[in-house]
Amino acid sequence: MPEWVDYLTGFCINCTDAWLSQVRRHLAGMLARELRRIGPSADSADPTAWIKGRADVAIRFWTQEYYRLVYPLRFGIDREAAGYGSSGQNRSSGHVGALLRWPAQDARSEEGGSGYETLRLRERFLDEMKLPPILPAAFWGPSSTTGDGTAPVRTSALAADQVGDIAATLYLALYDAAQASGRFDWLHALRLGVAVSPVWPEIEPDIPSLLKPPAVSGAAPLVELARAVAGFFQPGVPGAPGTGSPAEKAAPGTPDPDCSLVASVASLIEKLAAHPPTEEVVEVLRACRSTPLGRNHQASLNVELAVVVGGAQRIKQYVFESPGLNEIRGASTLLDEATREIRKKVEECLGPELVLRAAASTVVFLCPAAQAEKWRETIRRLLLSRCQVARVTTGVAKAKLADFLAEPGAFIGQAYRDQERERFSRQGPHWEPLPFEARCTLCRQRPASELYLFPGDEQAQPVCEPCRRKREKGRRERTGKSAAILNWVQVSARDLLAGRLGPGGKGWPETAVAQSGQSREGAAPGLDNQADGRTVPESEFKFFPNEISEIVGLDAEQGGRHREGEERRRLLAVLYADGNNFGRIVQRLKTLGQQRQWSHRVEAVTQAAVSLALADAIVQARKRSGRSFSHLPVEVLALGGDDVSLLLASSIALPVAAEFTRLTDAEFGRATAEAGEVTASFSTGVAVSHPSSPVRRLVELVEDEDGLLHWAKRAKVAGGSAGSADADGGRIAFWFTTSSEQLPESISDHLSRHFRKESLHGPVYLTLQPFTSRELEFLLDKARQLLSATSTAQSGEGVSDEEGTGNVTEKPGRAASVTGALTRLVTPFVKETPPIAALHYSYRAAREQSAGIPLRLCSLLEQPVADGSSWQSVFNARGWFPVLTIPGRPPFGGIVNDSGTTPASAAPMFTPLVDLWQIVKLLD
């Protein structure tokens, strides 16, 4: 039986015959539904267009949609956990995102060993806790058995990888011959046959209803050819690649020096030409046989192809040059639309199998070498027509087919380097407003080209064309990517804001998909108020934010009034997450299929993790406070590829960061020796300030060279959590201010001057940052524990020393305030020396025990949280609280070169009170 192994983490799935049979039937039904979506209106008198449309749909199913069924591999959405009791205390089982429950496996037991036979399989992205339909590759590529031949065949390739690789090889190897003969119809028939081959026995009975040759004159021979191709690629067929042909000679995990992929395709052509399936296809096969591939596959190894990379540069400058939410959202949407338009153009003119990546304003695809310059100009034209002022760069790397198949990563990297060279040589658009010209009201950079009447204004304002376009697009796309997120977790905006995310969530009604072969998963979210094939009802529009103030605003239950003191903490957070080691992993990928699989995996995992983290944070905020947000407290700026950018209400920013990191760490896990021990993870930075602060300034604080993201990445490299269970995971750094004036120019300089206090035994550091997900989750649970205790205290804040005399007095009759009490514990650590601060803490702890103070803050700080975690167990710490000694933990995550008086043999000392105090203020 085959054994599929995740090449990144070593996670292994034994695919029994029962499992494979179930998966193949499941996928055959889904593929049949996709083919049926091409209604009669898509048929035409042209057999080439008819067969290409069906081939594109089938290949798109494998090269795009199938990967979204498989990934994320390790986690899903657990509605039962999301719907637990209103108290919201059981955090250990209350996450919306939960690890998948894979059954116990026995590789050599068919009966009762796997437990797969009764399990449900995913039918859509993030489909509850159903299992991914893993269908391992079986046609060609690396495989191995033990010496006695009894061990299962191990492979890291999926059937979808094979479909994409074989189809792309066919297209590139036969393109010139098809163009010369004018017979692209047989080329698309070959592609269609490859696309249905993984599930051919299961889908063959439906072929007469799925493919109706009589509807198009001349289509019958093409269908017969596709049927023959599908049968050829079935394992067990004599001469097929799965039966010990040259396709199986490559050693596991190494490039194929003999290009067995091309040899297998050549074997297909020769076999079909020698034994035509019917007399009707003789003419078609004659065209196939006359190609270099049909005569001698070695000649086709010299076919030249091109890797094309294109996208926008200096995205931050383009997106954040105007401070308004509509302009920011509009700029992000325009970039996404341009990327999707380029992808669509490549799929229409070439094929879906040639697109390797289309995310994060970057497109990577293959094409015949002669077309490379034409595609370069197409990318520039499409991006500039959409975005106007964005700087567009492209890169091209040309290679022989044999060389590319042997080492695709090298040529993809070469194309990126060519793009980088163009980045420094190509000038962006130049705008010079003359002295008598009015500047644009929005960007204040370019000359205005028209007067624009803003909603609510009485007089029109001068704006430039790029800003007007961004603003108009932002207003139309108010739902945008947030709507796609809600649909992925199958909940409406109204239900999510009300905390209803339990069983039965269905989201919005499904819309009819346009008859163009575009499937639900292929549909672009955010276009025409659609999200993944579902329409956002007009009644839901009011829940999507239109201004930054609506992202951070909370409504009370009565009349939209706010509690006293709440207004000052309605803060805005910018969250940015970036992948670690992703480039190194791409360089280690050996095959074209792994390159495509990795690209789709990263996109699916980031989208899933962000969606579940946001849903979890909003539900928990509702359960904790009993109050709902008036609007969705998020605006998604970038979501796809290896970076994530969000605008958030400050109260959910850190919970989102912790949950996102927990889920991505669970997916990528600890790297294996097979992956070169390179672990993938995400570093995350969160900047919090007043909503009137320039968003671009917050983004710079996160992304700049001396910013939060750099801090988190440095800590990852330094091993800032030595000894912890998640030492290989991502890191999270945050910065909290209440106004933009308090934002530091240099984080490392600020830390060294203000977060390091000298004591007799060495320095004490006032922050434990950056955190792992487990550490931040512990601090969040501790903060929730303190806030919950505040609500139970009936009288008195506890202590007060407002005059600074040292005489502590009770203040009965006022609700207990954990923020105020915690502030008084933290202040000495910030303003005094550590011994004085520790003495003050001891005094407070002793007074709590003797005076009967309702809010026993020190006891709450030191005791474990609900799941039993403590400071010692989470941080691997020892010593007396609130000063903890943590061996192996670099101060400030290693971002500052500490040349203080700490003895070489002494472990660093930290106090977690400042971090906890800031988190309490953010959650309160």
3-state secondary structure of 757: strand
Q: State phi, psi for 569 to the nearest 5 degrees.
A: -105, 15
What's the rounded Cα separation, in Å, for the pair 595 and 586?
7
CA dist., res. 247 & res. 102, Å (int): 32
The per-residue pLDDT for 803 is 36
Over range 355-367, report the average pLDDT.
89
Angle separating helix axes 708-718 and 747-754, nearest 10 degrees: 70
Determine contact, residues 76/124, Cβ cutoff 8 Å: no
Q: pLDDT, tens digit, for every residue of 809-843?
A: 434 333 347 788 888 899 999 998 888 998 999 98
Per-residue tokens: 789: 């205790």
Tell me the pLDDT band of 796, cut-offs 50, 70 and 90. very low
Question: How many other CB atoms are there within 10 angstroms of residue 288's CB atom?
Answer: 25
∠6-11-17 over CA atoms, to 5°?
A: 85
**What is the spatial distance between Cα 58 and Cα 199, in angstroms, rounded to a whole number?**
11
Which of the four pLDDT bands, split at 50, 70 and 90, describes residue 144?
Answer: very low
* Distance (Å, whole) CA 242 – CA 244: 6
Nearest to 171, CA basis, from 158, 190, 193: 190
> Is residue 910 pLDDT above 90, yes or no?
yes
The confidence score (pLDDT) of residue 733 equals: 94
pLDDT exceeds cutoff 60 at 232: yes
Location of structure tokens 């792994």: 594
Q: Angle at which helices 159-181 and 260-274 pack, to 10 degrees?
A: 60
CA atoms of 181 and 285, how far apart (whole Å): 12
User: Per-residue pLDDT tens for 25-73?
Assistant: 999 999 999 998 886 555 567 888 888 999 999 999 999 999 999 999 9
pLDDT in tens, 270-285: 666 555 555 545 555 5
| Average pLDDT estimate for 626-639 | 85
* Cα distance between residue 825 and residue 912, in whole Å: 11
pLDDT band at 641 (very low <50, low <70, confident <90, very high): confident
| 797/811 Cα distance (integer angstroms) | 6
Q: How is 272-307 classified by DSSP, letter by letter?
A: HHHS-SSGGGHHHHHHHHTSHHHH-HHHHTT-EEEE
Q: What is the pLDDT of residue 854?
A: 65
Phi, psi values for residue 338, rounded to 5°? -65, -40
pLDDT tens track for 653-687: 999 999 999 999 999 876 554 555 678 889 999 99
857 CB burial (10 A radius; 0-12, 13-18, 19+): buried
Closest CA to 825 of 839, 809, 804, 841: 841
Asked if residues 740 and 692 have their Cβ atoms less than 8 Å apart, the reply is: yes
Residue pair 426/503 in contact by the 8 Å Cβ criterion? no
pLDDT at 197 over 50: yes
- Residue position matching structure tokens 């029962």: 18
Asked if 558 contacts 335 with a C-beta cutoff of 8 angstroms, the reply is no
Higher local confidence (pLDDT), 331 or 396: 396
Residue 267 one-letter amino acid: S
Q: Is 264's pLDDT higher than 80?
A: no
**pLDDT exceeds cutoff 70 at 456:** no
Q: 53-62, 74-83, 237-246, 346-355: which has the minimum mean pLDDT? A: 237-246
Q: What is the end-to-end Cα distance of the chain in Å, rounded? A: 55
Higher pLDDT, 581 or 296: 581
Q: Which helix (H) or strand (E) holds 824?
A: helix 818-831
| Per-residue model confidence (pLDDT) at position 771 | 93
What is the three-state SS of 216-278? CCCCHHHHHHHHHHHHHCCCCCCCCHHHCCHHHCCCCCCCCCCCHHHHHHHHHHHHHHHCCCC
| Interacting residues of 711 by C-beta distance below 8 A, sequence separation 6+ | 685, 733, 747, 748, 769, 770, 892, 893, 895
Q: Per residue in 543-583, pLDDT tens?
A: 888 888 888 874 433 334 444 434 446 899 999 999 888 88
Assess whether pLDDT exceeds 90 at residue 303.
no
SS3 190: helix
pLDDT surpasses 50 at 642: yes
Binned at pLDDT 50, 70 and 90, residue 800 comes out as: very low
Cβ proximity of 388 and 469 under 8 Å: yes
**CA atoms of 781 and 916, how far apart (whole Å):** 10
Residue ranges of alpha helices (H) inside 320-444 are 325-349, 372-387, 401-406, 408-425
13 compared with 765, residue with greater pLDDT? 765
Q: Please, what is the average pLDDT of the chain?
A: 77
Q: Provide, for the chain, the percentages of residues in helix, strand and coil under a 3-state DSSP scheme, each rounded to the nearest 5.
A: 50, 10, 40
- Listed in sequence order, the residues at least 6 apart from 183 whose beta carbon sits closer than 8 Å to its beta carbon are 284, 287
The residue-averaged pLDDT of 151-175 equals: 84
697-701, 719-723, 753-757: least confidently modelled range: 719-723
SS (H, E, C) 35-60: HHCCCHHHCCCCHHHHHHHHHHHHHH
pLDDT at 495: 86
Contact 577, 612 (CB under 8 A): no
Spatial distance between the Cα atoms of 126 and 72, rounded to a whole number of angstroms: 8
Highest mean pLDDT pick, 431-435, 446-450, 815-819, 871-875: 871-875
Alpha-carbon gap, residue 282 to 286, rounded angstroms: 6
- Whether omega before 890 lies within 30 degrees of 0, making that bond cis, reads no
Cβ count near 802 (within 10 Å): 8
Question: Could you give the angle at the alpha carbon of 321 between the alpha carbons of 319 and 325, nearest 5°?
Answer: 65
Instruction: Please calculate the CA angle 145-585-643 and round it to the nearest 5 degrees.
Output: 135
C-alpha angle 19/22/25, rounded to 5°? 145
Residue 918, pLDDT score: 92
Residue 194's nearest CA partner among 351, 37, 2, 306 is 351
The pLDDT assigned to 653 comes to 94
| Residues 474, 479, 485, 487, CA torsion sign | negative
Cβ burial 153-173 (10 Å sphere, 16+ → b, else e):
bbbbbbbbbbbbbbbbbbbbb
What pLDDT was estimated at residue 847?
A: 84
Give 140's pLDDT tier (boundaries 50, 70, 90). very low
Three-state secondary structure call for residue 554: strand
What does residue 651 show for φ and ψ, rounded to 5 degrees? -70, -20
Q: Stretch 299-327: mean pLDDT, rounded?
A: 81
Least confident of 399-408, 456-465, 658-667, 716-725: 716-725
The answer to whether the CB of 191 falls within 8 A of the CB of 62 is no
The 3-state DSSP class for residue 649 equals strand
Residue 829 parent element (H or E): helix 818-831
Band (851; pLDDT cuts 50, 70, 90)? low
Minimum mean pLDDT range among 126-140, 712-726, 739-753: 712-726
User: Percent of the chain scored above 90 by pLDDT?
Assistant: 22
Ranges 201-205, 793-797, 846-850, 872-876: which has the least confidence: 793-797
User: Per-residue pLDDT averaged across 865-886, rounded?
Assistant: 88
Name the range with the highest mean pLDDT among 107-111, 115-119, 705-709, 770-774. Answer: 770-774
Residue type, 247: A
Q: Is the pLDDT of residue 262 over 70?
A: no
DSSP symbols for 105-162: --TT--SSSS--TT--B-SSTT-TTPBP---B--SSS-----TTS-SPPEE--BHHHH
